[in-house]
Amino acid sequence: MQKVQAFSICIRCGKTRIFLKRWKDRGERNKGTVISHEESICPDKECQKIVDEKFQEMRDRRTQTEERKKAVILERSLTKKSKLALVS
């Protein structure tokens, strides 16, 4: 069983974070090993809010990059197909 270590120290202010909750899941599409997650929060509410926003921003950016990658791959495969169609 793989254990995911939650942040024990706030990345922003360096305070020890408070344990919030623990849960388990099997990753994407319920496949693979069960991973236990731990969520902790900063004792400073205002700080936690900022950290949360930063994480959300990072997630959004990652989603955007992935969407763009998918679009590029799709575009490439379409171009390839149309070229092949021209050849044959």
Region of 8 please: left (phi>0), alpha (psi -120 to 50) or beta. alpha
Strands 18-25 and 35-41 turn out to be: antiparallel
Is residue 42 within 8 Å of residue 54, measured between CB atoms? no
Q: Which residues contact 12 (CB under 8 A, 6 or more apart)?
A: 42, 47, 50, 51, 54
Q: How many residues bind Zn ion (CB under 5 A)?
A: 6
Q: Shortest distance, CB of residue 60 to Zn ion, whole angstroms? A: 21
Q: Which is nearer to Zn ion, 40 or 42 (CB)?
A: 42
Q: Which is nearer to Zn ion, 38 or 44 (CB)?
A: 44
SS3 at position 40: strand
Q: Which is nearer to Zn ion, 52 or 75 (CB)?
A: 52
Site for Zn ion in 2-61 (CB under 5 A): 10, 12-13, 42, 44, 47
Q: Shortest distance, CB of residue 73 to Zn ion, whole angstroms? A: 39
Q: Could you list the residues that contact Zn ion (CB under 5 A)?
A: 10, 12-13, 42, 44, 47
